Each structure stands twice: as C-alpha cells, then as structure tokens.
Amino acid sequence: MSKLTPRTLSGFMELLPAPQQQMERMMEILRKTYSLYGFTPLDTPLIEASEVLLAKGGGETEKQIYRFTKGDADLSLRFDLTVPLAKYVALHAGDLAFPFRRYQIGKVYRGERAQRGRFREFYQADIDIIGDGSLSIVNEAEIPAIIYTTFRSLGLRRFQIRVNNRKILTGFYALLGLTEKSGDIMRTVDKLDKVGTEKVREILTDDFAVARAQAEEILRFISTSGTPETVLSALEGYRGRNDVFDQGLLELGTVVRYLSAFGVPAENFAVDLTIARGLDYYTGTVYETTLLDHPEIGSVCSGGRYDNLAEYYTDRKLPGAGISIGLTRLFYVLNEQGMLNPELPTAPADVLILPMTEDLSPAIALATTLRENGIRTQLHCEEKKFKAKMAYADKLKIPYVIFLGEDELAGGVVACKDMATGEQTKLDAAATIYRIKAGLAERERGSVILG
C-alpha cells in the first residue's frame, strides 16, 4: 500500500509528551488560580454561526477568520473568547447572577500569515467580570492581584504589571482640545516602546497635524514615571479641568490604594501612562504585563475595563473588565528562552514495574496497590530484554523502577531503584510506597517556569 506522509499543519502547535506535560501543568495552575478568585469555568463551542460571531463586523480580524459552510449553514471558528462570551451572557442572562465571573481556557483560530512563533490555532486563557448595568472599580483593582498570583504560581518573579486608565488619556487629550484626534494619538503613543520618542513625535505632528508644542506636552505627560504615588501626584496637577480626567484619576488612585491589601508587591507594579491598548472598546483601567528580562516579548497578559460587552446582541448594558493570556505563544516563548523548568517530572508514570516471574499476578497486584495509593504506575510486560526496559524508563525519565522476582516475592519485599541516584532499596510494599511518595513530593517542589 502506498503511504501518505503524515504531517501537522503549519501554525498549529503539536507538542511531544514531555513539553505537553509542562503545558498541562501551566493550564492546571491557571485553572486553580482563576478559581481562587471566584471565577467559574466556561466552555463554549468552537464553531458559531457567522452572523453571530461577526455581528460587530469589519476589522482586521475578519480576513483571518476560518469561515465555511456546512449544508446551508454559514459557520465560523471563534477567533477569540470575548465574542463567544458576549453571546453567552446575552443568551443566558436570565440564568446568570451578576456580577458574572467566568474564566475560559480554549483554542481560538486566526489564519495569520504563518511565521515562526505565530500560531493559527492557539490557546487563550481569559477571565472576565461582567456587571449588570454597573460594575465597581474594586474589580479593576483586583485584576493586578489575579495577574500577580497567576504568574507567581507559575514561578515567575521578574515581571511587571503596568496599568493605566483610558479616562485619564481621554480627559487629557480633551484638555488639549484634541478630542477628535485622541484615538489616533493613543494608537501612536501605544507604539512608543517599539518605535521610540522621535518617531512618535513625527507621526503626531506630520500624520495627525498635532501642533509641535502639544506633541511635546503629550510626550512629557506620558513619560511621567516613578512610583505609582509619584505619578499620581504629578497627575494631580491636571485635576479639576476635565470631568473624565478627574474620574480616571480617582479610579487609578483606587487601584493603587488597594494594591497592598490585594497582596501585590510594589516591585511588580507600575503606572505607565503610555499604555492605551489598541482596542477602542476599553474605557477605564488597562493592563499590560511584561517580563523584565524579556521586554522583546511584549505583553504576556493584557486587558482592561470596557463599558458594553454585548451591545450587538442586547440592549442590556453589561460593563466588564477582563484579561487574556495568549497561552500558546507564552509557552512557545518560554520554551525558546529555556525558561521551562526541566527538573519537574514529565514522565507518563512515577513507577515502572518490571515483572520477573512467569505468573504476573503479584506484579499486577502491586501495580493495583500503587495506583490505589495515588502513584502513577505502568507495568512493562512486553517481550524485551531487561536492558531495553531500563532504557525505556530512562528515555521517559520515569523516576522509579520496581523489579519483582521470585526472591523478592519469597522475601515479601519489593526491589525499587531510584533512577536519578541509582540507589536501590528492598523494602516491603508499604515502606516502598512511603519512600516513593516522599521522593515524588521532593521532585514536585519546583515551579513550572524558572523566573
């Protein structure tokens, strides 16, 4: 029979077992952390009716969408988790209690040009808090704590949560009489990190006809830096001239004030007035998170406050706040940078049992006992040489190998080899289990990411 060459589509991540185990660990930590903050897991279809998914219409995204027909249905794969959330909340509003806090970790699809480190199928890990009519600023103040706990739980230390408030920017540009240009200006300033001050000044004056003096004031304003308290007191100088600005300043003050009660250390937080987030729908606090040793990666967790989640589906006003982690890209980058902890177990099993007797019952019974004790166990009963079986354990990095021969059975003991140290014990089953559990706990002590 002629064979077809197996292949995986370009832009689709498919991991080998060991890195997949690391990815699973990361997802488990995200689920745990998000749950700690009172978010409930959701799972929505990957396929939606195109008219529903594209209700908002237009934009860069539309060209990238996987859209197709099945029968007479016009269908699309979701390109983010926000639009499905909007649909979900609008559709099920009567069954939900508000504020509605959900997390979702799921794959989304964008037919981007394939290039290294860019994915067409990728996981997003989102949380959102949706209010009915209104939503307290405390939720916006809580989000840095969620980001902090998430990345600390993954093992990172050197990261910074950078926060701004869109009302401050909107108010400030209104002060300058630049309201009509504020969208253009924010998008330009958002590029500051990438293109530099000179280029931003040039775009502002040349492309958007901002007066030279105003461009200077904008650049001076956004470069206000220092501790959150320093930035806040610099902003005090503008207070009282524009209501939107004042509101933004109040909100930012609240976010900063509650940081320490929320457990976010000062070194992991900054107010950064350059952040606007490209998306027009953010209306209050906005967030970005950068790895201090890898600024080139850009933000690994971003989001913000928006006023109207589901305006295309319902008249009900549903303000919200949320963040998203591009998990597949984050995993890819961490892996590339060698930041995934190679010490954590990635083996499919904790113990490999090599039966050395004709009758396999004792070995099988031991496997059953180990499993009842929560130890991940594999029996190796294939017709292979002893050496090949040890090489198998080595290749998979299975930490313990147990031999069970006539001698051990007669003596009521189990021979157990620690594959890392080479140390071999002959103890009874209970003592062996105790030893293995202690060893596994020791091996589990590290974090997924070396931060």
Helix, strand, or coil (residue 373): coil
What number of residues does the chain have? 451
Contacts of 93 (CB under 8 A, 6+ apart): 132, 314, 316, 318
Q: How many residues bind a second copy (CB under 8 A)?
A: 105
Give 199 or 257: the residue with its C-beta nearer to a second copy: 257
CB of 311 to a second copy, least distance (A): 7
Contacts (CB under 8 A) with a second copy, residues 203-242: none
CB of 259 to a second copy, least distance (A): 10
Contacts (CB under 8 A) with a second copy, residues 283-302: none
CB of 284 to a second copy, least distance (A): 15
CA distances from 153 to 19, 23, 29, 115 (A): 18, 14, 7, 30
CB of 64 to a second copy, least distance (A): 10
- Taking CB under 8 A as the rule, does residue 395 contact a second copy? yes
Contacts (CB under 8 A) with a second copy, residues 328-387: 347-349, 352, 360-362, 364-365, 367-368, 371-372, 374-383
Cα 329 from chain centre: 9
CA distances from 446 to 216, 440, 443 (A): 48, 11, 7
Judging by DSSP bridges, how do beta strands 282-291 and 302-306 pair with one another? antiparallel
CB of 351 to a second copy, least distance (A): 8
Contacts (CB under 8 A) with a second copy, residues 99-158: 99, 101-102, 107, 109, 111, 121, 131, 134-136, 138-139, 142, 145, 149
Say how far apart CA 397 and CA 348 lie, in whole Å: 9
Say how far apart CA 62 and CA 40 lie, in whole Å: 29
- Taking CB under 8 A as the rule, does residue 441 contact a second copy? no
Contacts of 124 (CB under 8 A, 6+ apart): 80, 81, 104, 105, 106, 107, 108, 324, 325, 326, 327
Provide φ and ψ at 317, rounded to 5°: -85, 120
Give 64 or 160: the residue with its C-beta nearer to a second copy: 64
Contacts (CB under 8 A) with a second copy, residues 155-194: none
Contacts (CB under 8 A) with a second copy, residues 62-101: 66, 68-71, 73, 75, 86-88, 90-92, 95-97, 99, 101
Judging by DSSP bridges, how do beta strands 377-379 and 351-355 pair with one another? parallel
CB of 341 to a second copy, least distance (A): 18
Stretch that binds a second copy, among 177-185, 228-236, 258-266, 276-284 (CB under 8 A): 258-266
By rule CB under 8 A, what string of x and - marks binding of each residue 27-66 to a second copy? --------xxxxxxxxxxxxxxx-xx--x----------x
Say how far apart CA 62 and CA 110 lie, in whole Å: 9
CB of 330 to a second copy, least distance (A): 15
Provide φ and ψ at 226, rounded to 5°: 125, -160
Stretch that binds a second copy, among 6-14, 187-195, 207-215, 401-409 (CB under 8 A): 6-14
CB of 49 to a second copy, least distance (A): 6
Say how far apart CA 215 and CA 201 lie, in whole Å: 6
